A and B are shown apart, each in its own frame.
Chain A
Amino acid sequence: MIHLKKDETKLMVAVHGWSGIVLGLLLYAVIFTGMAAVFAEEIGIWSAGHVETRSAFERPMDGSIRRLAAQTPAKYHEGVDLFEIGDHNLGAFFHRHETDPDGTLVSRGIYYQLDRKGDVAKALHGTGEEVFGPRNDDALSSFLVDTHVRLHVPNPWGLLLTGIVGLVMLVAAISGLLIHRHLFKDIFTLRRSASPVLVDRDRHSVAGTWSLPFAFILAFTGSFFSFFGTIGVPIVAMAAFGGDVQALNDAVFGNPGRPDPRPATMGNMDRIAADAIRRTGEVPTFITIENFGRADAKVTSFHPPKAGDIEPVTLLYDGAQAKFLHTKPSIGTQPSAGGTLAAIMAPMHFGNFAGMLSKAVWFALGFAMCYVTFTGLRLWLARRREDMRSLEWLDRTVMVVGFGLPFALVCSAAAFLIAMPLGSATYWTPAAFLIASGVAILGGTTAPSVAALGRALQFATGLVLAGLVPLRWISGGPGWGRAIEAGQPIIAALDLAFLLAGIWMVWRAAALPARRLPFPARPVPAE
């Protein structure tokens, strides 16, 4: 328990409130989309109706890679990234590292998208930034992730913005801890018979206190990811390597060894993938090949953490001989404190270290954080309501963002389900989001009251959410029987979750008395 002096507590209350109010709406948007993005992979499977369960790395791929290498200019054999796209198909990016005229280090090459038979469905030429974007069958999950990562603001500004939002969350979490005079009591205090204001404050306090460690972890890891490439790497490279970012990358991620540029036939990639799966018990998430077709070729396979562990597993192979060399840390050549700490940042942020269970916990705590952010904003307004009637616009804005964002997201999901079979999902997914946002904003300006606005948005969100399930069936998605038979029960599970959540929201919005939705009648005295 931390006991601050009265004026310090007052200052921390102000810091806590203002940190939320200044960037609170952006913070809410980032947390909400992050909460949904925890299940981005599953949402991708559900929305596109993917029923293939065998990974591209479990199926023969060696012949396809050799064919692609033969048709790719040798200058792009410096690096080959292999990963899964769509319904467990293979994506391959043959590239080399270049420095742009503005000094930015880029990967330039050819990105091949293969179909189920291993033939080239699409080939894109350019830098990584240019060729990797949403595809028709993953437009919804890409849209979710992109909103969370950079709020659709171009890089580096989008990442910087979400990084600053992460720091704001860090401040809110730490100051939230400092202002609790009775932390353990607050965890369990829910006065149900008190005034609506106190009930709201208790709920905010309980949800905030329980999710405090989680908020700290998310804010810390999130701001790390945002600032890592945009500010961190250039600054550390400037100080330690005279600005040579490639030298920093080689030192941190590279596989040191004597260069041997002699041409050599590559070892069998199917053999490497099978061996990697056998050793780790997990399918690779990603495979990289350095110096394809040279005697010093190295293959690195990246795997999710083993059961009971949080650090991802990385295996290194001799590429020319397809021979296992050793297990290596994700960062550096030997295990080290810094490497381990950096390696666990991703699992801690994404919550994907223990399968569906950790994802469910991360989703639930993310929901709690959304609730804390939203109720925090409303409490801040409630405290000033009688003094500042001019804050009505902010009140409406909070409601438009708070309930308008979920509404716009479910509308974009509905648009995806309609547009994907027509091949125009990359356009209509964000377009529907913008149209629905426009409708929510329009509602915010015309609704007779804030309560009516909130209720209407909740009702509409529930309606569209429940409607996603029949929409998916009508648009040709697999039914429950087929999905379960194919080993994709997640499709039926998400259908059921959306249906129940939608019905619950409609029922709740219909049953909610307009006066409770939620505005406290009197300001709350500061603690």
Chain B
Amino acid sequence: MTSAAKQRVEFGPEHRPAGIVTRMAAAGIDLAVVVVLWSLIYATVAGARLIWSPTTFEWPTPPVWLTFGLGLVLAVLYLTASWAMTGRSYGASLLGLRVLSFRRELPGWALSFVRANFCVFFPVGLFWVILSPGRRSIQDVVLRTMVVYDWRGADSRNAE
């Protein structure tokens, strides 16, 4: 975990801070991914119940708190793993964004977990990007992280 957090990213002119439009689009895609994951879990549970007792099978009807709670947990886990491992979630990967620490390194698991909780439970902090001259959200300001465009260099590296 430590070695991964210390992985540095080569900066270039193209690595500019991402704006509100791309970050919200990435967040929306990540939300969809979480919904899909939640749906998979729900389908898995329903299938298990079907296999377990096919005659008495009924679609599971979890309570609302469990549904939202499980969704929040899935979101935190998904974002923590994504940022800690690659610096980008699936939505950030599609839009060419990457989360870096103030040392321009991948955030570690701890930082990623904290930032994931901060983003899941306080998503409004993202709109501070509009007002921030450095296009930083409240989470970035508090945790000293940054979100930058990182798709031109990545494409060239992938091409190599």
A pairs with B: no
